[in-house]
Amino acid sequence: MMNLKINDKDYNVKFGFNNFCDSDLLEKVEEMMQLLRGAQTDSDVNNAGKMKDLFLLVRELLFEGFKKENPVETRQEVGDLLDKYFDETPKNEEGEAIEERGVLALFLLLSNDLMTEGFLADLMEKMIQTMNAENVKSQKIPQDHKKKVTNLAKK
């Protein structure tokens, strides 16, 4: 479970079974991850022309993730919380951000939490193990070692 601190209040983000049944979050996250391969900053994403899609996906992830622990009524309410979250970026004495709170950084945190926490992590691990086991079984073993060795010296 992930935690965000906004306006001195802790918001827990927890993805559950219903999040996956009632939405297409996994597909959207996978599509966005494919688009972001190679993008390292918010401006890289903007250059790819996908900034709005990224903002919408982050808002949707939080809306779904808040349902269990911090029910919110609307996606607009989540958007307002995101505005506050970004405005509250911690800064050092020189005014430089000491914590990355860009939309890309938040997306990466949320998507990582989505894929590695809770029941989905166990499911993904078992699927990978099953696929690896099937790959090992499907590999052909060379049959040369089964040929009979004849004793040519007796001839």
Q: Which residues pair with 12 in a beta bridge?
A: 3
The model's pLDDT over 91-121, given as tens digits with 9 standing for 90+, comes to: 889 888 888 888 889 998 998 888 787 666 6
User: Would 9 be classed as within a structural domain?
Assistant: yes
User: Cα(47)–Cα(66) distance, rounded to whole angstroms?
Assistant: 30
Q: Name the percent of the chain in helix, strand, coil, to the closest 5.
A: 60, 10, 30
* Angle, CA of 40, 44 and 45, to the nearest 5°: 100
User: Would 56 be classed as within a structural domain?
Assistant: yes
User: Cα(152)–Cα(104) distance, rounded to whole angstroms?
Assistant: 71
Q: What is the mean pLDDT of each run of 10 residues along the chain (155 residues)?
A: 89 84 83 74 61 90 90 92 91 86 89 76 70 64 57 54
| Residue 108 domain boundaries | 2-136
Overall number of domains in the chain:
1
User: Would 47 be classed as within a structural domain?
Assistant: yes
The pLDDT assigned to 115 comes to 78
Q: Which two tokens stand for residue 131?
A: 């696929």
The pLDDT assigned to 11 comes to 92
User: Would 153 be classed as within a structural domain?
Assistant: no
The pLDDT assigned to 134 comes to 67
User: Would 34 be classed as within a structural domain?
Assistant: yes
